[in-house]
Structures are given as C-alpha cells and as structure tokens.
Amino acid sequence: RKEVEQDPGPFNVPEGATVAFNCTYSNSASQSFFWYRQDCRKEPKLLMSVYSSGNEDGRFTAQLNRASQYISLLIRDSKLSDSATYLCVVNIRTGANNLFFGTGTRLTVIP
C-alpha cells in the first residue's frame, strides 16, 4: 500500500476557476505535511507546508484532517502559471524522518 495516494488527474480548468486536490496518507505516524509543485521536466519545489489548523498563502489554501488522514489543496482564481503537477508529501517520523511523495496531480489551466 502506498504511503500517499493522490488522484493523478489531469485536471483541466479555465482561468479564474477554483480547483481542489485531495490526498490521503496511510501512516498515522505521519507528522508533517507539504504540497510541492513540479513544473514539466523540472525539479519539485515547496509550495507550502500544511498545518493542523489549515493555512493560506494568497490564492492557495491547504487543509489537514488528521482523523481522516486527508490533506487538501485549494487554488482560487486559477492562473495560466498555475499549470503544473502538485505533489502531496508527508514526513513520517519513524527512524530517519523521510519524506514520502504522492504520484502527483496534474493541473492545466486553460485560457
């Protein structure tokens, strides 16, 4: 069973739309949560951390539900530049504190 599961998409949305991505994780020892963004043929880069109380960074809102082991990312007012793959990432603090990545959800914002 994968540590992190994501809907791979693709999600094709018009500019200005609101889109939500979901992710589930299987290990209850997961302690930290993140969303990374990966552009085509580039390396992943941190988009935002996800805190228990939920957090917002401009048009992006991340939420965590520990009871359901569920993480979400909401993007409001989508821009063409938001087109990328969004990776859900968890840090499992058993042993070496490794990061585990979901397969990613691909978003294309259409003019």
Partner 1 sequence: NAGVTQTPKFQVLKTGQSMTLQCAQDMNHEYMSWYRQDPGMGLRLIHYSVGAGITDQGEVPNGYNVSRSTTEDFPLRLLSAAPSQTSVYFCASRGSTEAFFGQGTRLTVV
First to last CA, the chain: 38
Q: How many residues bind partner 1 (CB under 8 A)?
A: 22
Q: How near is the Cβ of 23 to partner 1 at its closest, in Å?
A: 11
Query: What secondary structure does DSSP assign to 48-104, as a single string?
Result: EEE-TT-EEETTEEEEEETTTTEEEEEE-S--GGG-EEEEEEEEE-STT-EEEE---
Binder among 45, 59, 66, 93 for partner 1 (CB under 8 A): 45
Q: Which stretch binds partner 1 (CB under 8 A): 22-30, 53-61, 72-80, 99-107?
A: 99-107
Binding status of residue 32 toward partner 1 by CB under 8 A: yes
Binding region for partner 1 (CB under 8 A)? 2, 4, 8, 32, 34, 41-46, 49, 87, 96-104
